[in-house]
Amino acid sequence: MPAAGKLREMIQVPGRLFSVNRATASLVPRLFARNERVVCLFEGEAGPFAMILVGAIFVGSMETVWAGELFPSRGTTSPRQPYTEDAAIYLRPGAEMGRFNMGSTVILLFPPGAVQWVAGLRPGAKLRMGQRLGSLNPGDHAEPEGLAATDPPGSSTNR
């Protein structure tokens, strides 16, 4: 988890399973919007934020610590799972929230001004588990902005 957050909703979005390597991403228009995705919407100290797990060829499935393994959705609808106070899922910064069965991509969306990104951080940069991406600017923020990053394979549960 990039920040502490309470899960508000999870949406499994059906889609293709293109490779997410740089070569394919540069050739396939809107690749990250076309591949299968699991959208996790959280409420945190700096306002709402989203973590979007993007599926890819050979990934096979994605998994979250609260829902377990999520197999590719071959349908045309997006299964939505809201999480209420009765079923609250709260994750601390650095906690594992999910994994891929091989590496893939995670897109982080935060409201404008909610994060002071580390200098020199660029889309497509290779990141490592636990690497600092920035710091939160607490406050009342509204609309998200994002950064796509390659998720390292393997991690440990820290719930």
Mean pLDDT of 134-153: 55
Question: 10 Å Cβ neighbour count for 47?
Answer: 20
In a domain, 158, yes or no: no
Which residues are bridge partners to 148 per DSSP?
A: 107
In a domain, 80, yes or no: yes
In a domain, 123, yes or no: yes
- HSE-CB of 64 using CA atoms within 13 angstroms: 23
Look at residue 21 in the predicted model and tell me its pLDDT. 85
User: Which range of residues forms the domain containing residue 104?
Assistant: 5-151
Mean pLDDT of 126-140: 81
In a domain, 84, yes or no: yes
In a domain, 29, yes or no: yes
Tell me the average pLDDT of the chain: 80
In a domain, 143, yes or no: yes
* Domain total in the chain: 1
Tens digits of residue pLDDT in 62-74: 889 998 888 766 6
- Which SS3 state, helix, strand or coil, does residue 136 take? strand
Query: 25: buried, middle or exposed (CB in 10 Å: 19+, 13-18, 0-12)?
Result: middle
Cα angle value 67/12/134 (rounded, 5°)? 80
In a domain, 157, yes or no: no
- Which SS3 state, helix, strand or coil, does residue 129 take? coil
Q: Is the pLDDT of residue 6 over 90?
A: yes
In a domain, 159, yes or no: no
